[in-house]
Structure formats: structure tokens, C-alpha cells
Amino acid sequence: MDINIQPPEKEPERQFYFMELAAKLREEFEAKKGGRATYHVTTFGCQMNARDSEKLAGILERIGFIEDQSEESADFVIFNTCTVRDNADQRLYGRLGHLKGEKYRNPNRIIALCGCMMQEESAVEKIKKSYPYVNIIFGTHNIYKLAELICIQGLHTGENTGTGNAFPTTAGIYGCGMVIDILRGTDEVVEDIPSVRKYPFKSGVNIMFGCNNFCSYCIVPYVRGRERSRKPKEIIREIERLAADGVVEIMLLGQNVNSYGKGLEEEVSFAELLKEAEKVEGIKRIRFMTSHPKDLSDELIEVMSSSEKICRHIHLPLQSGSSRILKMMNRHYTKESFIELALKIREKIPDIAITTDIIIGFPTETKEDVNDTLEVIDRVGFDGAFTFIYSKRANTPAAIMEGQVPPEESRRQFDRVLTAVQESSRKRAAERTGRTEEVLVEEMSDHDPDFVSGRLSSNLVVHFKGEKELIGSIVRVRLDECRGFYYIGERVI
Ligand code: SAM
Ligand code: SF4
């Protein structure tokens, strides 16, 4: 490749140009090191981040890096960050502090940070000041640009010679080699970037990016930008390619999949997209995440109930059972309408598992509000729940609300909610005892070397005796013994 040729303007061609150029930098690095250049991606947060990390790994492998299981020894370490709650921020700072010593032991190591936390100006300022050994910082809107940023970083540190000129770029260069490229927003959806799947037989598929809901506690709309749906054709093309590559289970990903399709030239509903996805041969299971209760349509329930492929699981975040708190949260449903919706889903799709998210300690929340949450848990009978203590996020409306709840009170109420959801999940899981159900086998079990583990359509984990050849296939398993949140079963042939 002639690197004096200007890089293409158009994406993703531009990025493939930089992947090739970055490969040359990697070769120079390997000659100096006397061995292969390695990478490690650490992911914080949700499924969206996990999917983005597969793309980061895809780009790095295309450049020629090989994976290192250890963050400490890899030559290129990248943290894909989360900032939904403060403890995610603190975990990143802890890891960066720990890597400081390693960085001085191996000064050629590159540390890159990307994802939601990097969209916050205050976080980037803190990193510039307290962790100056970080080399590359980018955000949520330009994950696809990793190769370009590696080139800019490599070409400006003076470590790598012989590869030439600098390129016109939007990125800023700070201090000695810190490259920072954060976009405040974008309409662009760059497709067809290489990716490395964690599991060969299942994959996430982004159907939309960003969020327009502005729940008053949540930072996601500020760091992930406005809601943008991918075109149905592009999504189906990706699913077809995955199926051809051996994928049997897909998870359609979006912050609120129920509002999929709004703003597209030809508006398409999420239920219609599901129907198209179902037609893809080779795909045996379809999951999706997350469903906002305010937008869940009868059409979707209908499509789910008559589908052979859509899994019997819906994640339906409640957040709070108190209508007063829900109003303050800007969630646009009430305790009663949530219960009604959940019971309707149960009636139309009898074996469905309903899981949820609950926040405890939102400003002004009282014991009585928590009693409402407990009542919803009791009436709906959740199959699982993620419970979170409210975390104040800068610049969100809830952060400046009066009546912030003291941590010890939140903790007390949290324990009540946790006990209730655990009891509910155990009870729901136990109801399946003795049934024979299909399991997608995912990995060798960590309980016993002779066992494999997999998931039911409801997402419950099952361990049973089996060989590694079963991984990736769907088999029938009798659910013998419920151990709280998972089963021990036996394969039925
Ligand atoms: N878009 C999804 C939805 O509306 O349900 C969820 C996205 S968010 C990454 C995942 C969960 O984090 C939310 O459902 C909520 O329960 C929790 N969460 C978001 N902001 C929070 C905050 N400030 N404090 C505590 N939990 C929070
Ligand atoms: Fe956050 Fe609400 Fe958007 Fe979910 S729907 S990402 S909780 S603002």
C-alpha cells in the first residue's frame, strides 16, 4: 500500500485503509519486541458494550494483533467503559491506577479508553490530569475508528519511524502522544467493520443506537446520543451473514427496541423487523433487549406468541412500582398499567419468563413507595431482576432533585427488594421441575468437568452431563433439580 496516497473519505473504506497502515506499525513493533504483538479488551457494562468490544477485537485482529488473556501483559490494552452508575467509573480508575506500574515496566504498551464514560468531559479531564500514560481516548460514536486512531498515535509519538506522513483528522493530540477523539453526536451508522465473536454460535446484532427517553436518572441519552435505527435491510443482511457463519442465536440490541424504526425513510415496527428476522434460515433462536414498557405493542405480543424462534423471555424494566416515583423518573407508565401489561403478556404467552431492572433510593423514595415495588414483584412474579441502588449522575435532572436518600436507608430498602426478587425468581424457576425443554449448549460447565451448560428459551441456565462436541447445538434436557437460579438436568434423546 502506498501510504502517501490520501486515505479514502468514505467509511468503512477509510478504516480498512488505516487497518492496513496500522499493520505496518504493528510489524515494526514486533521487530523491536522480537515477538507477536498482543491485545486485551476489557468490557464494562451492558450487552451493547459487549457487542462494541467484539468490533474492537475484530479491528485489532485484522491489524494482526493476537489476543492475550491478561490485561497485565498485553501490548495493547483497551477498556470499553460504562458510566451508568458511579461504581463503574470507580472500577475503571482502579484498573488504570493498577496499570501505572505495568506501563513503566513496558513503556511501549498502549492503553486506550473508549465507550460511554469517555463522552463525559469531566472524566476525560480527570484522565488527562491523573492518568497521563493513557495513549488513546475515544467515545461511543466512533468505535469503528480505532485503526485510524492507532495510526495517529503511532505516527505522532515518534516511536515508529519510516511510515511517514500525518493525516488530516478530527482527533486532537495532547501532551506526549495522547490522542483524544470524542464526537458529541452523530447521525452516521458505519456498517461492515470486522468483528470477533465471543461465541461462534450466538451474536448480538445492533438494531438501533442511542436513546430519546431521558429517564430522569439516566446518563445514557447524553453519552450515547439520539436514537437512530439501522435500516431493516442492513440488519437482515447482517443476520444472514451470521447464519451463514454458523450462528444459531441472535440478540437484537437497542436501548428501547420497541421504538425501533421511528425516523426511518420507510417506517417499520419492531414486530415487523422480528418477522423478517424469523425468516432467516439457520437462525433458531431470537432474543432482544431492552423493551421499554411504555412502547410495548399488542402487535409485538402477537408476533412473539405465534413465533417458533423468538425466545420465551422478555426483559421489561420496572425501575419502580410507585406511580409517584415513576412520574418523577419520566417513565410514562404507572404501577397499575405495568401490572396490566405484564399480566397480559403472561396470559398470551403462558411459559414466558419476565425479568426486570429495579432502582432503589431514587430521590424522595419512601418505605411506602418501596412497598408498591414489592407489590408489583408479588403480582407479576418476576423470573429474575437486576436491582440497583440509585446512583447520582452529573447533569441528569434527578441529580438536582431535592430529597436525595441517605445511603444507609437505600441499603435497608434494597435488602427488602432483593429478598423479594430472589424469592420470586426461585419460585418461578422451580415451577419447571420435571419438564423437558430445549437447551442451547454454550460451554463446559464450571461445576463439573463432565458437564456442559446452556440456556433454556427462558434464559435459565442448565447444567447436564455432556461432551464439548455439544457446544453450539440445541438438545432436549429434562429439568431434574432446581438449585435456586439454575437447574441440574439430564439429556433426553
Ligand atoms: N434502556 C434500558 C431501559 O430503559 O430499561 C436500560 C439501560 S441502563 C444501561 C440499564 C439499567 O441501569 C436501567 O434499567 C436502570 O435500572 C439502571 N440505571 C440506569 N441509570 C441508573 C442510575 N443513575 N442509578 C442506578 N441505576 C441506574
Ligand atoms: Fe436510560 Fe431510560 Fe433510555 Fe433506558 S430508556 S437508556 S433507562 S433513558
Q: How would you write the pLDDT of the chain (493 residues) with one tens digit per residue? A: 555 678 999 999 999 999 999 999 999 999 988 999 999 999 999 999 999 999 999 999 999 999 999 998 899 999 999 999 999 999 999 999 988 877 777 778 899 999 999 999 999 999 999 999 999 999 999 999 999 999 988 865 544 333 333 333 445 544 456 899 998 887 777 878 899 998 999 999 999 999 999 999 999 999 999 999 999 999 999 999 999 999 999 999 999 999 999 989 988 999 999 999 999 999 999 999 999 999 999 999 999 999 999 999 999 999 999 999 999 999 999 999 999 999 999 999 989 999 999 999 999 999 999 999 999 999 999 999 999 999 999 999 999 999 999 999 999 999 999 999 999 999 999 999 999 999 999 999 988 899 999 999 999 999 999 999 999 999 999 999 999 999 999 999 8
CA atoms of 235 and 469, how far apart (whole Å): 30
Strands 208-209, 228-229: pairing is antiparallel
47 Cβ closer than 6 Å to some ligand 2 atom: no
Q: Which residues does 203 contact at the CB level (< 8 Å), separation at least 6?
A: 54, 197, 242, 247, 249, 250, 251
Q: Which atom of ligand 1 is nearest to the CA of 393?
A: 23
Q: Which atom of ligand 2 is nearest to the CA of 290?
A: 4
Q: How many CB atoms lie within 10 A of CB 359?
A: 27
Locate 105 and state its grid cell: 515496566
Mutational test site, ligand 1, from 43, 255, 333, 388, max ligand atoms within 8 Å of CB: 388
Locate 208 and state its grid cell: 438501533
What CA dihedral angle connects 40, 225, 320 and 347, to 10 degrees? -90
Ligand closest to 49 (CA) is 1
CA atoms of 50 and 251, how far apart (whole Å): 12
Ligand 2 centroid to residue 361 C-alpha, Å:
17
Q: Which atom of ligand 2 is nearest to the CA of 256?
A: 5
Selection from 123, 107, 94, 282 nearest residue 177 by Cα: 107
- Put the strands of the sheet holding 285-289 in their side by side order: 202-206, 249-253, 285-289
Report the amino acid identity of residue 99.
L
Whether 214 contacts 330, CB under 8 Å: yes
Whether 84 contacts 113, CB under 8 Å: no
Assessment of whether the complete model's pTM goes beyond 0.95: no
SS3 of residue 92 by DSSP: helix
Ligand 2 centroid to residue 30 C-alpha, Å:
44
Whether 352 contacts 315, CB under 8 Å: no
